[in-house]
Structure 1
Amino acid sequence: MQLRFLDYFVALAREKHFARAAEACHVTQPTLSAGIAALEEMLGKRLVVRDRRFIDLTPEGHAILPFARQLLADHEGLRRAIDAPAGPLRGELRIGSIPAAMPCIGHLMRALRAQHPRLQVTIRSLTSREIERALLDYELEAGLTYLHDDPPAQVRAVPLYSERYMFATRTDSPLGTSDAVTWRDVAATPLCLLHQGMQNRRILDAHLARLGLAITPVATADSYVALLSMVAHGGLSSIVTDSHAEFVAGDPELRVIEIVDPAPPNSIGLVVLDREPLSPLARAALAVAETIELTASLRARR
């Protein structure tokens, strides 16, 4: 069996579109279609339902998909393991990060480059559930996500830092000169928040529910950049994490304010799929994470 046929098959299952899958594999669409047909002939089963376009995988296609992903991941790990003794670790380290963890990316990148200067790193902004799925599907080597409150399954984790909620607003807003605010003050303010598909928002809503409060935001987004833009220019306030305070510290018109009776801190860490052997890339990410602790670094920038 030729591995490139499995690569075509996995790409098609991911993209659900022949042209996009062919583009992802850097081949023409006829080449990709011919490769999948050859794979079906080798296995003696139809794997894809199609009628001039992709419709779905057959039951047999769904059944072999996890094994195809694992075979490709193991082959890539084998190649990295062979190359490792010959020199510096190379390749693309794919990391998924929840939006709340984006402020730590620079610190992690510096540590990675110090130990593995030849690595290429790709960062994707994903929800915690998307990170879990992508790890299980071998689409990521590592993730930055919450370690408590519905943590990802089947992973090894290294804690990196803890975050606290804070209130972000303009200095000319009604609460803009306050030294501290209460959750009731915050709940009565026109807000923009992360949407409810984000774990950070689900943790926040659960804390508010324990206080007997609920918030209906004016606007939602999946990015703290969008939230801070709406605070700066949209006439709204927001609830952000203390690790984002550094991004408004240089703007005299914005403030990040302590919240009285704060919610318990949320632990964020680096996770990799719990399997043996670990791929060299996943092992490198885990080893680097074990050398750094970011709470002090992130809060020092406030």
Structure 2
Amino acid sequence: MQLQHLRYFTALARERHFASAAATCGVSQPTLSAGLVALEQELGKRLVDRDRRFIGLTEQGVAILPWAEQVLGAVRGLSQAAEALSVAPQGEFRLAAIPAALALVGRLGDRLLRDNPGLTLSVHSDTAREIQRGLAANAFDAGVTYLDHEPAANVLSVALHEEQYLFVARKGAGFEVDAAVSWKRAAGSRLCLLHQGMQFRRILDRHFAEHGLSVIPAAIADSYVSLLSLVRSGGFTTIVPASYAQLMAGLEWCRFLPFAEPAPARRVGLVVVGRDPLGPMAGAALLAAQAVARDNAG
């Protein structure tokens, strides 16, 4: 069985598009398709439903996906272990972050690359649950996620930030005189929010419930870029982490308002798998995160 064929399969499962998967693997689409056919023939099972386009994985494809990820992760871990005695880590560093933490990756990534010039950084956005699964399969070197809410198991962590929440409305939408907004008023506005598969949304739903409120947003999305675009249209409001307000400082079209009844802060931080011995990539990530945490404290 060729590892490259497993790479084609996992890339297709992730991208859900033949051309995108081929581009990710750096091969032509016919090469990727031929590799998938060879893998199916070797296993004697059809793994992918397809016509002229990707439809989905078969039951057999879904069943082998975690094993394929673990095999590739183990091979990658073996390569890293072989380089563990080198002067500094080399190659691609894969960092996964929940959408709520994407505004924090700049300082962490900058510190990581300044301290380890042999690395290149690849940032992925994913859910907290997928990050935990990816870390266990060695698909990611580190993650940035919540440390207190639904915490990942068997990890080492460094707290980077305490998350607060801000209400966002377009200027002219009726919030000009407000210094803060209540959860009740926010719930009564035309909200657009992340979908419930996102941990940030589940936390928000809990905060609303603590105030006796239930929210059905007018629109949902899987990124803050989409939410802010809807707000800019003038007809929507949203709720974002305060770190996004810092990232968007100076924009004239929107207002960021704190909540009159602030929710408890949630810690967000870097996590790596707690292996012994610690791999070179994980060690480099922890050192970079600790440096950023010291800078934040100072």
**Could you say which TM-score interval applies, normalised by the shorter chain?**
0.7 to 0.9
Q: Residue 126 of structure 1: CA displacement?
A: 0.9
User: Match of 1:231?
Assistant: 231
Q: Residue 74 of structure 1: CA displacement?
A: 3.9
Q: Residue 128 of structure 1: CA displacement?
A: 1.1
Q: How many residues are treated as equivalent by the alignment? A: 287
Q: Residue 258 of structure 1: CA displacement?
A: 1.3
Counterparts of 1:238 and 1:31 in 2: how far apart (Å)?
45
Per-residue Cα deviation, 1:171-201 (whole angstroms, up to 9, x for no partner)? 3221222111211121121111111111101
Per-residue Cα deviation, 1:40-81 (whole angstroms, up to 9, x for no partner)? 5xxxxx46436996964759x957x66664454344334334
Q: 1:9 aligns with which of 6, 27, 30?
A: 6
Query: CA 1:66/1:55 → structure 2, altered by over 3 Å: closer, same or farther?
Result: closer
Query: CA 1:164/1:55 → structure 2, altered by over 3 Å: closer, same or farther?
Result: closer
User: Match of 2:35?
Assistant: 32
When the two chains are superposed, the root-mean-square deviation of aligned CA atoms in Å is 3.2
AA of the residue aligned to 1:15: L
Counterparts of 1:138 and 1:127 in 2: how far apart (Å)?
16
**Highest Rg: 1 or 2?**
1
For normalisation by structure 2, the TM-score amounts to: 0.82
Equivalent pair of 1:93/1:281 in contact (CA under 8 Å): yes
Q: 1:49 aligns with which of 43, 46, 67?
A: 46
Q: Map of 1:59-138 to 2, 5 A cutoff?
A: 62=63, 69-138=69-138
AA of the residue aligned to 1:231: V
User: Match of 2:53?
Assistant: none
Point out the more displaced range, 138-147 or 18-27.
18-27
Query: CA 1:185/1:255 → structure 2, altered by over 3 Å: closer, same or farther?
Result: same
For normalisation by structure 1, the TM-score amounts to: 0.81
Q: Residue 265 of structure 1: CA displacement?
A: 0.8
5+ residue gaps in structure 1?
Answer: 41-45, 298-302
Identity of aligned residues (%): 37
Q: Residue 29 of structure 1: CA displacement?
A: 4.6
Equivalent pair of 1:12/1:18 in contact (CA under 8 Å): no
User: Match of 2:212?
Assistant: 212
Secondary structure in structure 1 of the residue aligned to 2:46: strand
Equivalent pair of 2:77/2:138 in contact (CA under 8 Å): no
Does residue 155 of structure 1 match 2:155? Answer: yes
5+ residue gaps in structure 2?
Answer: 51-55
Query: CA 1:87/1:126 → structure 2, altered by over 3 Å: closer, same or farther?
Result: same
Query: CA 1:221/1:273 → structure 2, altered by over 3 Å: closer, same or farther?
Result: same
Equivalent pair of 1:168/1:239 in contact (CA under 8 Å): yes
User: Match of 2:256?
Assistant: 256
